[in-house]
Chain A
Amino acid sequence: MAVVKLKTPIPEEEIRKLKAGDILYISGIVYLSRDEAHLRALEYAEEGKELPLDFKGLALFHCGPIVKQDDKGEWHVVAAGPTTSSRMEIFQDKYIEKFRVSVVIGKGGMFERTTAAMKKYGAVYGAFTGGAAVLAAKAVKKVKGVEWLDLGTPEALWIFEVEEFGPLTVAIDSHGNNLFKDISEIAEKNREKAYDIIGVSK
Chain B
Amino acid sequence: MEFAPIVEKVAFNLLKYAATVLPENAVKVIKTAYENETNPAGKSQLEAIITNFETGAKLGIPMCQDTGIHIYYVEIGADCPIDDLGKIKEALTNASIKATNEVPMRPNAVDPFGSNSGDNTGRYIPWINWEIVPGDKIKIIAFPKGGGSENMSTVKMLKPGVGIKGVMKEVVDWMIFAAGKPCPPTVVGVAVGGGADIAMKIAKKQLMRPIGEPHPQKEVAEIEKKLKKAINTTGIGPMGLGGDTTCLAVHMDYAHRHPASLPMAIAIQCWAARQSAAEISATGKIKYLHHKIKE
Which chain A residues have a beta carbon within 8 Å of chain B's beta carbons? 63-66, 68, 78-81, 83-84, 86, 107-109, 127, 129-138, 150, 152-155, 167, 169, 171, 179-180, 182-184, 186-188, 190-191, 193-195, 197-200
Residue of A nearest to B172 (CB): A194
Q: Is there an interface contact between B65 and A108, defined as CB atoms closer than 8 Å?
A: no
B: interface residue count bin: 35 or more
Nearest neighbor of A81 in chain B, beta-carbon distance? B65
Q: How far is the CA of A187 from the CA of B179 in the complex (A)?
A: 9
Does B180 contact A194, Cβ atoms closer than 8 Å?
no
Q: Does A108 contact B172, Cβ atoms closer than 8 Å?
A: no
User: Does A198 contact B230, Cβ atoms closer than 8 Å?
Assistant: yes
Q: Is B235 an interface residue (CB 8 A)?
A: yes
Residues of A near B181 (CB, < 8 A) are 84, 86, 108
Known: A153-B107, A198-B169. A131 touches B180 (CB 8 A): no
Q: Which among B106, B173, B231, B236 is the interface contact of A64 at CB below 8 angstroms?
A: B106
B contacts, CB < 8 Å to A: 41, 44-45, 48-49, 51-53, 55-56, 59, 61-67, 104-108, 110, 115-116, 118, 146-148, 151, 165-166, 168-169, 172-173, 176, 179-181, 183, 226-227, 229-231, 233-237, 239-242, 270-272
In the bound complex, do residue B241 and residue A171 qualify as a contact, i.e. CB atoms below 8 Å apart?
yes
Tell me whether B227 and A198 are in contact (CB under 8 A).
yes
**One of B52, B147, B148, B241 near A133 (C-beta < 8 A):** B52
Interface centre among B41, B45, B148, B168, by most A CB within 10 Å?
A: B148
Of the candidates A80, A86, A135, the one whose C-beta lies within 8 Å of that of B48 is: A135
Q: Is the interface of A mostly helix, strand, loop or mixed?
A: mixed
- Known A107-B183, A154-B108; contact A188-B270, beta-carbon cutoff 8 A: no
Chain B residues lying within 8 Å of A81, measured Cβ to Cβ, are 64-66
**Cα separation A186 to B236 with both chains bound (whole Å):** 8
Known: A83-B147, A132-B49. 4 other contacts (CB 8 A): A79-B62, A180-B180, A184-B179, A197-B230
Across-interface contacts of B183 in A (CB, < 8 A) = 107-108, 130-131
